[in-house]
Structure 1
Amino acid sequence: MNRPSWTTLAPIVAIVALVPAWFAHPEGVVLGLLAVLLVGAVLAAVHHAEVVAHRVGEPYGSLVLAVAVTIIEVGLIVTLMVTADKDASGLARDTVFAAVMITVNGIVGISLLVGALKHHLAVFNPEGTGAALATVIALAVLCLVVPSVTTSQPGPEFSGVQLAYAAIASLTLYGMFVFTQTIRHRDFFLPVEHGQHTPTVLSSGGGDSFEHEPVDLDEDGHADPPTDRAALASLGLLVVSLVAVVGLAKIESPAIESGVAALGFPQAVVGVIIAMLVLAPETIAAVRAAARNRVQVSLNLALGSAMASIGLTIPAIAIASIWLDGPLKLGLNQLQTVLLLLTAAVAILTVVPGRTKPLQGGVHLVLLASFLFLTIAP
């Protein structure tokens, strides 16, 4: 009889530990053990999301992790805004902005660097990636920059009507992109080979395949594709993992806030920590894909997460703000706006050629480091 793998046990143990911890106030060693379980649940979520993604195929698979990340992000933001002792009116802005910077600079940067170093050039489809980047930039400016220059409400806030419009516009843009990615121009978001700018899709009756590629598309030793039973089991365990991640992160959040305050860091660092936590599955999956010379999958994951982080999180927070007390500050300050616009300009230049050297990955990673440094020392 085969023993259950750690990816099966980790989410189950995490959810079992979450129940008593939710009604208690763990400290010290117990809090440390819960942090270990939190990391295990995140890694398990990566595995099960990849199994489901592999079963449904690209580019649908990239949406699985993007939606999963958004669920975690919204859950953390809302729970922290409700329970935080300090002013949390800017938490949604800080978390969403951090998610954009981490995905567009961090995940994209490390994926391009790994892909280019291992395979000499990181090759991807500029049509699909450019469409994704354009949507991310439009969402980021509309939801994070515009609130700082509107005049209906004092401060970096939307009025009620403006917030409703931003939420509807965000959902519209996200829906249009998903339609483009999964139905209208699906081929623009499929992995490409070196020397190509568009994938060669062969009609096989049972799905899409690529010329000269091995049958094991993910090269991880798993059955290709997984059975329906295995995919459904992973889907269930993915849901359990996500619930465990949100719950355990909620329990760990007071310690995170206390640690940030003890170090004398700005409150925006809490948003960065939340974003780094929820984007851990995307980062791991993207690096794995880049190492297998499937950089397009990495970029789908990165930009899809950035898009979902804005296009789905902002509408969810807008609805939640009906019941939340206090203002909802979404507008970026001048420093953050400059970093966002610099990131957008560099990302456009990176995407246009459809292939990159290690240099471009390094440039994005330096921008990420600059964002992290200037968040701590503004």
Structure 2
Amino acid sequence: MTDRIKSMAARWTVAVPVLAVVLLALTWGRSLPGVVVGVVTLVLAGAVLAAVHHAEVVAHRVGEPFGSLVLAVAVTVIEVALIVTLMLDGGDKSATLARDTVFAAVMITCNGIVGLSLLVGSLRHKTAVFNSEGTGAALATVTTLATLSLVLPTFTTSKPGPEFSTVQLTFAAVASLSLYGLFVATQTVRHRDYFLPVAKQGEPSRPEEEHAEAPSTRTALISTGLLLLALIGVVGLAKGVSPTIESGVEAAGLGHGVVGVIIALLVLLPETIAAGRAARRNHVQTSMNLALGSAMASIGLTIPAVALASLWLPGPLVLGLGSTHMVLLALTVVVSALTVVPGRATPLQGGVHLVLLAAYLELAINP
């Protein structure tokens, strides 16, 4: 019976990514009626779950922190493609799309995924334990990237408005790529042990699933391909339903920035589920790798991409945050630092981060 369930699950996780890509090809660039939007949404949800499954297969094969890095980078690369595509199609109203989406990703990862992981881990295991050295290094990198790319443009004077000049944008792009590359080298080569799951006693954890036989190289390669298909389906179908989302946002009288928030929520759903599952298994460090790694990749890859795209984009590229969002970012950095320093957390810390996310979402709806 168990083998039959596993066989059905395996077939389901293979079929759904293929179905998502086929549906994407059939609906791309078309106006979708309500019934089709409903079907697309169901397939989108299935593709998210399939992406999480295949990411966990790959993670089991390559181990941490490579597993969480695979999912974070894969999601972000396709997210960048989605942002650039929407900016090319959106005209002047898309001038703030990159800023809104990147900032939404930072708030969702640093408060939503981190808060959920700490809450789940601490409720299930009394205390959520992680490596403060690795997590602190990741937080410092995210903070630097966010400040250089999203805060400084508000205060520069070379161009009017919260925009970078060409030289400043080039510097931000090069700095973002350099810091992200340096962090990946630190995470995967020189100080890999800083990013491995730890037990409450401070020793490397050896949960039961780590004793299970790792999937074969062939299985891992197949899962990698299906993971990419699922992520392409997730992001592409999210773009397909975005006109419906935009119409609903406009009908509700909400700001255009809410569209970026909704799309970021959809795109980051696979990482959110994967981080929650890792926290339930007492792999809170894996959850933190996913959360902060995704925030870092979102900035470190998106800013260079939009800087390059700005060469042929017709409208301006607005990256500077407003005062309300800068306050939320500053509060997130302070709270995150206080969370990371002890290397352990209770449900209180998780709740604080989730309240910050709720405040961001509420202010996005009612600025």
Structure 1 length-normalised TM? 0.92
1:205 aligns with none
Among 210, 213, 223, the alignment partner of 1:217 is: 210
Q: CA deviation at 1:7?
A: 0.9
CA contact (8 A) 2:238 2:267 kept: no
Q: CA deviation at 1:214?
A: 4.2
RMSD: 1.5
CA deviation map 1:159-184 (0-9, x unaligned): 11110100000011111111111111
For 1:376 and 1:36, the matched residues in 2 are separated by: 25
For 2:207 and 2:363, the matched residues in 1 are separated by: 45
For 1:85 and 1:319, the matched residues in 2 are separated by: 17
Among 259, 267, 270, the alignment partner of 2:256 is: 267
For 1:251 and 1:86, the matched residues in 2 are separated by: 20
What count of residue pairs does the alignment treat as equivalent?
A: 361
CA deviation map 1:321-352 (0-9, x unaligned): 11211000000000000000000000000000
Give matches, 1:1-378, under 5 Å.
Answer: 5-22=11-28, 24-84=30-90, 87-196=93-202, 199-200=203-204, 210=205, 213-217=206-210, 224-378=213-367
Amino acid paired to 1:106: G
Amino acid paired to 1:224: E
CA contact (8 A) 1:108 1:299 kept: yes
For 1:136 and 1:244, the matched residues in 2 are separated by: 28
Amino acid paired to 2:284: V
For 1:296 and 1:23, the matched residues in 2 are separated by: 40
Q: CA deviation at 1:195?
A: 2.3
Amino acid paired to 1:331: G
For 1:345 and 1:105, the matched residues in 2 are separated by: 12
Amino acid paired to 2:253: G
Identity, % of aligned pairs?
Answer: 65
State the SS of the aligned residue for 2:282. Answer: coil
- Segments of structure 1 that go 5 or more residues without pairing to the other structure are 201-209
For 2:92 and 2:122, the matched residues in 1 are separated by: 44
Amino acid paired to 2:27: A
For 2:267 and 2:235, the matched residues in 1 are separated by: 9
Q: Which structure has greater helix proportion?
A: 2
For 1:233 and 1:166, the matched residues in 2 are separated by: 37
State the SS of the aligned residue for 2:94. Answer: coil
Amino acid paired to 2:339: T
Structure 1 window deviating more from structure 2 (243-252 vs 331-340): it is 243-252
For 1:187 and 1:77, the matched residues in 2 are separated by: 34
For 1:338 and 1:179, the matched residues in 2 are separated by: 31
State the SS of the aligned residue for 2:287. Answer: helix
Q: CA deviation at 1:24?
A: 3.7
CA contact (8 A) 1:76 1:249 kept: no
For 2:325 and 2:239, the matched residues in 1 are separated by: 27
CA contact (8 A) 2:174 2:304 kept: yes
Amino acid paired to 1:303: L
- Segments of structure 2 that go 5 or more residues without pairing to the other structure are none
CA contact (8 A) 1:215 1:224 kept: no
Q: CA deviation at 1:215?
A: 4.9
Amino acid paired to 1:32: G
For 2:335 and 2:15, the matched residues in 1 are separated by: 42
CA contact (8 A) 1:72 1:245 kept: no
Amino acid paired to 1:336: H
CA contact (8 A) 2:58 2:220 kept: yes
CA contact (8 A) 2:91 2:315 kept: no
Structure 1 window deviating more from structure 2 (129-138 vs 238-247): it is 238-247
Structure 1 window deviating more from structure 2 (42-51 vs 96-105): it is 42-51
